[in-house]
Structure 1
Amino acid sequence: MKTLLPTSTAGSLPKPSWLAEPETLWSPWKLEGDALTHGKEDALRVALQEQQQAGVTIVSDGEQTRQHFVTTFIEHLHGVDFENRKTVKIRDRYDASVPVVVSEVSRQKPVFVADAKFLRSQTQQPIKWALPGPMTMVDTLYDDHYKSREKLAWEFAKILNEEAKELEAAGVDIIQFDEPAFNVFFDEVNDWGIACLERAIEGLKCETAVHICYGYGIKANTDWKQTLGSEWRQYEEIFPKLQASAIDIISLECHNSRVPMELIELVRGKKVMVGAIDVATNTIETPEEVADTLRKALQFVDADKLYPCTNCGMAPLSRDIARGKLQALHAGAEIIRQELQQANA
Structure 2
Amino acid sequence: MTTLLPTSIVGSLPKPSWLAQPETLWSPWKLEGDALTEGKQDALRIAVHEQRRAGIHVISDGEQTRQHFVTTFIEHLSGVDFEQRETVRIRNRYDASVPTVVGAVGREKPVFVDDAAFLRTQTDQPIKWALPGPMTMIDTLYDRHYKSREKLAWEFATILNQEARELEAAGVDIIQFDEPAFNVFFDDVRDWGVATLERAAEGLRAETVVHICYGYGIKANTDWKATLGSEWRQYEQTFPLLQRSAIDVVSLESHHSHVPMELVELIRGKKVMLGAIDVASTMIETPEEVADTIRKALAYVDAGDLVPSTNCGMAPLPRDVALGKLAALSAGARIVRDELDPPAG
TM-score norm. by structure 2 comes to 0.99
d(CA) in 2 for partners of 1:106, 1:342: 52
Q: What is the 5 A alignment of 1:280-299?
A: 280-299=280-299
Q: What is the 5 A alignment of 1:64-213?
A: 64-213=64-213
Deviations 1:36-72 (A, max 9, x none): 0000000000011010000000000000000010000
Q: What is the 5 A alignment of 1:218-233?
A: 218-233=218-233
Per the TM alignment, residue 343 of structure 1 is displaced from its structure 2 partner at its CA by 11
Q: What is the 5 A alignment of 1:265-304?
A: 265-304=265-304
Task: Name the aligned partner's letter for residue 156 of structure 2.
Answer: F
Deviations 1:241-274 (A, max 9, x none): 1000000000000000000000000000000000
Per the TM alignment, residue 342 of structure 1 is displaced from its structure 2 partner at its CA by 3.9
Task: Name the aligned partner's letter for residue 148 of structure 1.
Answer: S
Partner of 2:323: 323
d(CA) in 2 for partners of 1:99, 1:166: 26
Task: Name the aligned partner's letter for residue 128 of structure 1.
Answer: K
Per the TM alignment, residue 344 of structure 1 is displaced from its structure 2 partner at its CA by 12
Per the TM alignment, residue 341 of structure 1 is displaced from its structure 2 partner at its CA by 1.1
Structure 1: 4+ residue segments shifted above 6 A: none
Per the TM alignment, residue 26 of structure 1 is displaced from its structure 2 partner at its CA by 1.1
Task: Name the aligned partner's letter for residue 199 of structure 1.
Answer: R
d(CA) in 2 for partners of 1:160, 1:284: 35
Q: What secondary structure does 1:308 align onto?
A: strand
Partner of 1:13: 13
Task: Name the aligned partner's letter for residue 46 of structure 2.
Answer: V
Task: Name the aligned partner's letter for residue 2 of structure 1.
Answer: T
Unaligned regions of 5+ residues in structure 1, if any? Answer: none
Task: Name the aligned partner's letter for residue 163 of structure 2.
Answer: E
d(CA) in 2 for partners of 1:206, 1:344: 33
Partner of 1:253: 253
Task: Name the aligned partner's letter for residue 61 of structure 1.
Answer: D
Deviations 1:171-191 (A, max 9, x none): 000000000000000010011
d(CA) in 2 for partners of 1:344, 1:88: 57
d(CA) in 1 for partners of 2:342, 2:123: 31
What is the total number of aligned residue pairs between the two structures?
345
Unaligned regions of 5+ residues in structure 2, if any? Answer: none
Task: Name the aligned partner's letter for residue 319 of structure 2.
Answer: R
d(CA) in 1 for partners of 2:303, 2:249: 14
Deviations 1:23-46 (A, max 9, x none): 111100000000000000000000
d(CA) in 1 for partners of 2:343, 2:242: 31
Task: Name the aligned partner's letter for residue 99 of structure 2.
Answer: P
Q: What secondary structure does 2:341 align onto?
A: helix
Q: What secondary structure does 2:50 align onto?
A: helix
Task: Name the aligned partner's letter for residue 107 of structure 2.
Answer: R
d(CA) in 2 for partners of 1:300, 1:323: 29
TM-score norm. by structure 1 comes to 0.99
What RMSD, in angstroms, separates the aligned Cα atoms of the two structures?
A: 1.1
